[in-house]
Amino acid sequence: MIPLSHYLIVSATMFVIGSVGVLSRRNAIIVFLSIELMLNSVNLTLMSFSSFLGDVTGQMLAFFVMTVAAAEAAVGLAIIIALFRRKQTVNLDEINIMKW
Amino acid sequence: MTIESILFYVLSAGAVGSALFVVSRRNPVVAALWLIFNFFCLAGLYLSLHAQFIAVIQIIVYAGAIMVLFLFVIMLLNLGDERRLVEGVTPRKVVGGILSIAVLVELWYVFLGTPSIQHAALGNRATEIGTVEHIGAQLFTKFLLPFEVTSLLLTAAIVGAIVLAKRKLD
Amino acid sequence: MDTTFVLLSIAKIAVVWGGVLTGAAILVLAERRISAWIQNRLGPNRVGPFGLLQSAADVVKLLFKEDIVPTAANRFVHDFAPMISITVALTTFAVIPFGDTIEAFGQNVKLIVADVNIGMLYILALTGIGVYGITLAGWSSNNKYSLLGGLRSSAQLISYELSMGLSIIGVIMISGTLRLDEVVMHQTAPLAHSMQKLPSWLQWLIPVAGWLPSWNVFFQPIGFITFVVASFAETNRLPFDLPEAEPELVGGYHTEYTGMKFGLFFLSEYANMITSSALITTLFLGGWHLPFAESWGLSPFALSLVKIGTFFVKVTILVVFYIIVRWTLPRFRYDQLMRLGWKVMLPLSIANILATGLLLLWWS
């Protein structure tokens, strides 16, 4: 039988890889993909606790995370499209109008 | 090695490996494809946790809807052949990487050092709570309010996405 | 996991894949012959009797053609896209029951490959993945016509997937299950059982229509129509074949494909037709159920064969319907397609769910 800690280690590793992506990549789309990766690793944690504890709340939370992720993807991609129309780039370093 | 543990390690290796590819590819389409592969591995892991409903929803919502949206936008903006976006190594990235690895080491230390989660066996109720019937019943009784609020969130997201992405008539 | 189960599963997979692939091959010929008949031509009739070996000849030709990959194409994705298409087309059939049970090897065998309790969700998941084959083929070819075809298909498939999923919900509400075999079982009772609950001013309907089987198409006419239309859109068949509209886009997403890779797209289109016909049959037309077949006094084995035959006949009729529609209707314009999907189909299927819910509340 797989112990709970193994699931948690996989999830933690994925989360950290995602955070490295967010911190180091400058392509807005890939940063966005990394955020999805982090959300999913959190989902894996929730799901493994839910199954190991026999409590459905974790699965519910994962379900709601997915809904939020869908909403977030729609709005985020709309923002990226709007930015691309204005600046012709998705490089986050060049999107600095609001930087003071 | 039982067949379950072999499956677990294969799926975990797939998930972690594809996550590495997601953050390291230059071409956004290829990164998105690796992310889709990652989602399939996660769906497999959910199945190994007996959470069949969430596993299928993971495929339907993430792989079937969200990632198609991503691919659609990447293709629409024609970012696939953008080679101009050169990404060099900056001090900020080095610090970010070191801090992330520190977090990783910390998490591993906690997970490997806590005895209570080492020998935990999958609960007997795992199969029961993962079914569509049980999740549906819970969703419409105990979690009714969050579920309804979700609809508001989705409506707001639809309106926001349309307003943001609409071409201005000026 | 015992050996009999594994062997039986392999046998069932072999039967299903053999059936779908042979069916697809025959369908290619049938399509050409029917289109020829509609257009007052003869169609292919030289290879074998009635041209029956035409598909075999086509496959041999495709296998020996040179595989050309455009220089600037993404090689891996270009090779991978047809594989996704054909995999999705061939695995959807796994949860569709193609018969009741049959006596074989001394036990009662359920005629369904994967007897899972989330069959409908599995089908929705696979239709969601099916988008990738076409979208990626369009992107990886590095050709503007292909890209346009890929973009169109992803928008179209997402839009019609919604109405497809929502029109299934009506069926789920009536049957109260996600298993497709139970959905079929639920449709086997005569309609008179459900009609007892009709109000008194409609009771006269019982002798008129009570002998009919309680197929879901009688309870869900709007769901049936939206589902059939959405299936046409999901399989990229005319009048919804915008992703490969020949006059505008050369060949759409498969413009840059040659040889057997093109053949795989071709094959998956026809396999998808068979699968979606089987799905329509299962969900709305009673699956393998043939009214009054039980009263003929057949032996159980013959009855099983009759049920498989019924399923086969129903699927064939639907597939021929697909072909006739293709050669009868003109193609939609893109804005018309989107308007139909979002402003007609989606509200209609939501209204159908609402009406079904109200009726169920009232009847129970």
Full DSSP string of C84-125: HHHHHHHHGGGGS--SSEEEETTEEEES-S---TTHHHHHHH
Please give the pLDDT value at position C205. Answer: 72
C-alpha C339/C-alpha C350 separation (Å) is 16
**Mean pLDDT across chain B:** 84
- Cβ-nearest to C122 among B56, B71, B76: B56
Q: Does C178 touch chain B (CB under 8 A)?
A: yes
Q: Which CATH number fits domain A4-87: 1.10.540.10, 2.120.10.30, 1.10.287.3510, 3.40.50.2300?
A: 1.10.287.3510
Please give the pLDDT value at position B156. Answer: 92
Domain coordinates in residue numbering, chain A: 4-87
Q: Does B131 touch chain C (CB under 8 A)?
A: yes
What are the φ and ψ backbone dihedral angles of C104, each rounded to 5 degrees?
Answer: -150, 140
C-alpha A76/C-alpha A67 separation (Å) is 14
Domain coordinates in residue numbering, chain C: 65-363
Place of tokens 């498939």: C157
Domain coordinates in residue numbering, chain B: 1-85
- For A23, the closest chain B residue by CA position comes to B96
Q: Are B167 and A85 in contact (CB < 8 Å)?
A: yes
- Cβ-nearest to A18 among B19, B46, B87: B19
What tokens were used for C124?
């929705």
Residues 6 or more apart whose CB falls under 8 angstroms from that of A2 comprise: B4, B5, B8, B48, B122
Q: Does C122 touch chain B (CB under 8 A)?
A: yes
Q: Which residues in chain A have Cβ-Cβ distances shorter than 8 Å to B160?
A: 74-75, 78
B119: helix, strand or coil:
coil
% of chain C exceeding 70 in pLDDT: 96
Question: Chain A 8-67, CB below 8 Å of chain B: which residues?
Answer: 8-10, 12-21, 23-27, 29-30, 32-34, 36-37, 40-41, 43-44, 47-48, 50-56, 59-60, 62-64, 66-67
- Cβ-nearest to A9 among B51, B82, B108: B108
Q: Does B57 touch chain C (CB under 8 A)?
A: yes
Work out the burial of residue C363: count CB atoms within 10 Å of its CB; fewer than 13 is exposed, 13-18 middle, 19 or more buried.
exposed
What's the half-sphere exposure (Cβ side, CA atoms, 13 Å) at C223? 27
Q: Does B47 touch chain C (CB under 8 A)?
A: no
Region B1-85: CATH code: 1.20.120.1200
Q: Which residue has the higher pLDDT, B167 or C318?
A: C318
Q: Which residues in chain C have Cβ-Cβ distances shorter than 8 Å to B63?
A: 125, 128-129
C-alpha C213/C-alpha C329 separation (Å) is 32
Please give the pLDDT value at position B86. Answer: 61
C-alpha A56/C-alpha A51 separation (Å) is 8
- Name the least confident of C125-129, C157-161, C196-200: C196-200
pLDDT digit string (tens) for A5-39? 888 889 999 999 999 888 888 888 888 999 999 99
- For A45, the closest chain B residue by CA position comes to B46
Please give the pLDDT value at position C1. Answer: 56
pLDDT digit string (tens) for C242-266? 767 666 777 777 777 888 888 888 8
Q: Which residues in chain B have Cβ-Cβ distances shorter than 8 Å to C178?
A: 132
Please give the pLDDT value at position B155. Answer: 92
Please give the pLDDT value at position B168. Answer: 66
Q: Which residue has the higher pLDDT, C330 or B157?
A: B157
What are the φ and ψ backbone dihedral angles of A91, each rounded to 5 degrees?
Answer: -75, 120
- Which chains, if any, share at least 3 CB pairs under 8 A with chain B? A, C
Map C256-315 to HEC letters: CCCHHHHHHHHHHHHHHHHHHHHHHHHHHCCCCCCCCHHHHCCCHHHHHHHHHHHHHHHH
Nearest to A66 by CA among C199, C347, C106, B42: B42
Does residue C39 surpass a pLDDT of 80? yes
Q: Does C160 touch chain B (CB under 8 A)?
A: no
Does residue C34 surpass a pLDDT of 80? yes
Does residue C211 surpass a pLDDT of 80? no
First to last CA, chain C: 42
Mean pLDDT of C273-278: 89
Does residue A42 surpass a pLDDT of 90? yes
pTM of the predicted structure, to 2 decimals: 0.87
Please give the pLDDT value at position B150. Answer: 92
Please give the pLDDT value at position C109. Answer: 75
Interface A:C, ≥3 CB–CB pairs < 8 Å: no
Please give the pLDDT value at position C105. Answer: 65
Please give the pLDDT value at position C6. Answer: 82
Residues 6 or more apart whose CB falls under 8 angstroms from that of C26 comprise: C55
**Mean pLDDT across chain C:** 82
Q: Are B79 and A48 in contact (CB < 8 Å)?
A: no
% of chain C exceeding 90 in pLDDT: 2
CA torsion C164→C165→C168→C169, rounded to 10°?
-140
Mean pLDDT of C140-152: 82
Please give the pLDDT value at position B71. Answer: 86
Please give the pLDDT value at position A100. Answer: 66
b/e sequence C310-341, b meaning 16+ C-beta within 10 Å: bbbebbbebbeebbeebeeeebbeeeebbebb
Q: Are B15 and A10 in contact (CB under 8 A)?
A: yes
Which residue ranges of chain B lie beneath pLDDT 70?
A: 1, 79-87, 119-120, 123, 168-170
